[in-house]
Amino acid sequence: MPSDVPGFDLGLLSPVTAGHDDLVSDRLFLDALVSAEVALVEAYGTIGLAPAEAVAAIRREFRADRGIRPSSGIDAAALATDAVAGGNPVIPLVGVMKARVPADAREWVHRGATSQDIWDSAIMIVAKRAVEQVSRSVRNAQEWLLQLAARHRDDVVVARTLTQHAVPTTFALRAVNWQRGLRRAAARLDALEFPAQLAGAGGTLASFVEVTGSPERAEQLVSSFAEHAGLNAPEGPWHVLRYPVTEIGDALVQAIDALGKLAADVATLSRTEIGEVAEGIGGGSSAMPQKQNPAEAVLIRSAALRAPQLGATLHLASALAVDERPDGAWHAEWPTLRELLRLALGASWHASSLAAHLRVDTAASSTNLTVTGGLVVAERLSLVLGPHIGREAVAALVTRAGAGDDLGDLVRAAIREHDLDLDPDALLDPAGYTGLADVLVARALRADDRHPHAPREEDA
């Protein structure tokens, strides 16, 4: 049945990606396929095999130097239908491209290449651009979080373990910890390599040795192809050695994990009964006008719940990349990697926006510190009073406070009874029991001074 909307997937079922997946659209993949084919022709020209006239004609036809998308004029839907017969779209694409160039240039289109050479290189072209954008968004989110930490450096909040109030911490340290996860993820994204693929039908480069006339020139062709495609020169063929794909997938999963941690905490802290943070934009309800839902956190979390299994699928497919070209495992990678890239693009953009607009309610944080009647410093009481009055006595004191007795009165009485040289008010002050929180925050802020270019509001 034909679709009644222009495009199979508009993001209706994936709002986290809506508006943020243009870099991984079918049209962008088609552009990358054409660009890879043109890069191969250019490489032949660079090493002195393809005539300059043939290279120029192919470049001219596919707008390689005119600022027009390479796949302009190619019917992507028809190409997808024609791809069924051969199992990939490169086969019909080569026919389309040859038909559009002069007869004396046709022999240089796809010469010596196998479909996987072009497809794998196109995947790397698309992935490289998408990952660069994800990394920018992640780094923007980092900077917004550090600015948030600087503004709330002295704000003491409740740390929760196993869902319960535990000890005091600071909001700044919480924000810095979110930032640290993003920083490590961004570093891993930035360390990725995106190798070209040019190895021929069986991964031996035999066709390129034959065409170029020598192993040395065949290797020159590979290096030149990678340069023209804007990719890394490959260490060797990776038709069935799929670490370039799985490493990208793993880095994307780590990034989405870090984004998901931020989102999960924001969603929890914005609960009505906690109310320590609130998203600054969006979040309305269709039925309940009083609600301010953490919409961006919800969207990011939806991506984080989906990403790990996509990463696992990449590994499963790659592990089963048999022979010199896999039978279906290769094909399973394509939509899986695209979906991971898509989720990372959307989740990272929303995380940057969330961090830029996040509001911290210091009054609610202060109120929450008092919910347990001061028992948020119970660990400190055990450490300080225990050696003097015994751990059992401290435990009894805490039990009485939990039952409703005033903790301050109980502590003061214990200090008087044992004639201890302690300031009860200082001992009970949550701000006095945040350990190295400020040191850790200061360290993160100092490190950020090496990167002084904070994002702008419009970059969120």
Other beta carbons within 10 angstroms of residue 107's beta carbon come to 12
Q: Is 170 helix (H, G, I), strand (E, B) or coil?
A: strand
Burial class (CB in 10 A: 0-12, 13-18, 19+), 250: middle
| DSSP label of 456 | P
Angle at 363 between CA 454 and CA 435, to 5 degrees: 70
Indicate the pairing of strand 277-278 with strand 359-360.
antiparallel
Angle at 120 between CA 118 and CA 124, to 5 degrees: 115
Specify which residues 13 forms β-bridges with: none
Specify which residues 165 forms β-bridges with: 160
Q: Which of 27, 217, 325, 400 is catalytic?
A: 325
Query: Is 271 annotated as catalytic?
Result: no
| DSSP label of 236 | S
Quote the CA–CA distance of 420 and 122 in Å, as a whole number: 73
Q: Residue type at 52?
A: A
**Given its phi and psi angles, is residue 419 left (phi above 0), alpha (psi -120 to 50 degrees) or beta?**
left
Specify which residues 158 forms β-bridges with: 168
DSSP annotation string for 398-446:
HHHHHTT--HHHHHHHHHHHTT----HHHHH-GGG--TTHHHHHHHHHH
The size of the chain, in residues, is 460
Which uninterrupted H or E stretch holds 160? strand 156-161
Query: Is 223 annotated as catalytic?
Result: no
Q: Which of 60, 66, 285, 359 is catalytic?
A: 285
Which uninterrupted H or E stretch holds 167? strand 164-170
Name residue, tokens 């225990």.
386
Quote the CA–CA distance of 154 and 429 in Å, as a whole number: 13
Other beta carbons within 10 angstroms of residue 102's beta carbon come to 11
Please list the active-site residues.
285, 325
